[in-house]
Structure 1
Amino acid sequence: MEDNNPPKDYYKILEVDYDATEEMIKVSYRKLALKWHPDKHNGDTVATSKFQEINEAYNVLMDPALRFEYDLTGIYEIHKYTLREYLARFKGMILTCNGLGISHSSSPWTQQLAEGNNTTDEQGYNLDTV
């Protein structure tokens, strides 16, 4: 039987960026788990489902091996993302040499993303509208 449900974006479920640290993930998880805990919603099935989804996302993103595999294979319906959002999924892996600890906080590309400047390529095409 084919699964027609769209794939889950664990980063969006936990409301974190694609290059979020473990600490950022933990903080967001705790906040969302408290907000959606079934005991706070008197057994509401929507809250229970949301809570389970939050736990699933947390378990995958906190396990380094699962997160790596998810990051490589979890590309979701690319047409729903801007170029910036799509590339952000890989920014952490690329700019840190796949997690080897090279800092990317001073990278011009990172600064440009943080400042929200328009991104253009060598020919002057605006990449924000691609």
Structure 2
Amino acid sequence: MMWDENWFDQNSNNDEQHQESPFNFDFLSLIAKPKDYYRILEVDYDATEDSIRSNYIRLALKWHPDKQKGEDGSTSKFQEINEAYQVLSDPIKRQEYDMKGMMTYDYNVIDYLNRYKGLILTCNGLGMKHSIW
């Protein structure tokens, strides 16, 4: 895939056109490491339903937005706790998460790019316009 080197120069002066471009999206949300529901609920990977439920109740009471009125992140933390409990409390969803989720969720794009950034920067610095892969 070749990049059009003049694209940015042509569109940098026109802010409206730049905002509507397909490159204007939240890149970090795409490469962020997915959530580890076990870590969110502070339980082991082989936790029983009772321990998952008891930790959920403890954390839900601790992070409930009504109790944390001054905290900005309490609502998002409470939502994460609920999301984790919805998956881990249902045996079918938990099994799917354990089978698919943990294998694919360990892959982190940032780690991959950091590992090969020297090669990527070298190839870009040499003016290589074609992919080496």
What SS does structure 1 have at the residue aligned with 2:34? coil
The alpha carbon displacement at 1:42 in A equals 1.2
Report 1 or 2 for greater relative contact order, CA contacts < 8 Å, sequence distance ≥ 6: 2
Q: Which of residues 26, 34, 46 is equivalent to 2:53?
A: 26
Unaligned runs of 5+ in 1: 80-130
Unaligned runs of 5+ in 2: 1-24, 109-133
Could you tell me which residue of structure 1 aligns to residue 84 of structure 2? 57
After TM superposition, what 4+ stretches of structure 1 lie above 3 angstroms from structure 2? none
RMSD across aligned positions (CA): 1.9
The alpha carbon displacement at 1:10 in A equals 0.2
What SS does structure 2 have at the residue aligned with 1:54? helix
Distance 1:55 1:45 in 2: 17
Could you tell me which residue of structure 1 aligns to residue 106 of structure 2? 77
Answering whether residue 71 of structure 2 is matched by residue 44 of structure 1, we say: yes
Distance 1:64 1:43 in 2: 36
Distance 2:52 2:70 in 1: 26
The alpha carbon displacement at 1:45 in A equals 3.0
TM-score (norm 1): 0.56
What SS does structure 2 have at the residue aligned with 1:29? helix
Could you tell me which residue of structure 1 aligns to residue 35 of structure 2? 8
Higher alpha-carbon Rg: 2
The alpha carbon displacement at 1:6 in A equals 1.0
Distance 1:14 1:78 in 2: 21
The alpha carbon displacement at 1:43 in A equals 6.1
Distance 2:92 2:79 in 1: 21
Give the conservation status (yes or no) of the 8 Å contact 2:60–2:78.
yes
